[in-house]
């Protein structure tokens, strides 16, 4: 098993992966870091767990949209090129909702 060091939002993380998958894991880490930094710039530094949760939700949304396009027979890309992720919703309501979800997850984790 190989180990890859990823930098996410300025912090280093050692991640294990299968031998030969290091390049892919680095690429995925860079993609995730971009999402975390985007969330941090939108809502501020609200804690690592919440930033990671919000970034993961953004990635899950992109994956869901892509799967839906495939199910609808539209393919993974538009005719104009690769599908771009929609800009993150703005407004305090979205940030509040995500913060509430993150707080609930934190509370559940503390009970484990």
Q: What is the enclosing helix (H) or strand (E) of 78?
A: strand 77-78
What digits encode the pLDDT tens for the residues 69-78?
A: 888 887 665 5
- pLDDT tens sequence across 51-93: 999 999 988 888 888 888 888 887 665 545 444 544 544 445 5
pTM for the structure as a whole? 0.64
How many degrees, rounded to 5, is the angle at CA 32 between CA 63 and CA 94? 70
């Amino acid at each position: 098993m190989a180990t890859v060091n990823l930098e996410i939002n300025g912090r280093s993380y050692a991640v294990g992966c299968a031998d030969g998958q290091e390049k892919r894991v680095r690429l995925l880490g860079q993609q995730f870091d971009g999402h975390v930094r985007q969330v941090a710039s939108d809502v501020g530094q609200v804690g690592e767990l919440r930033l990671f949760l919000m970034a993961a939700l953004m990635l899950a949304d992109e994956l869901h949209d892509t799967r839906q396009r495939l199910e609808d027979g539209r393919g993974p890309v538009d005719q104009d090129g690769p599908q771009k992720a929609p800009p993150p919703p703005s407004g305090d309501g979205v940030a509040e909702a995500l913060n509430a979800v993150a707080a609930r997850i934190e509370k559940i984790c503390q009970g484990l």
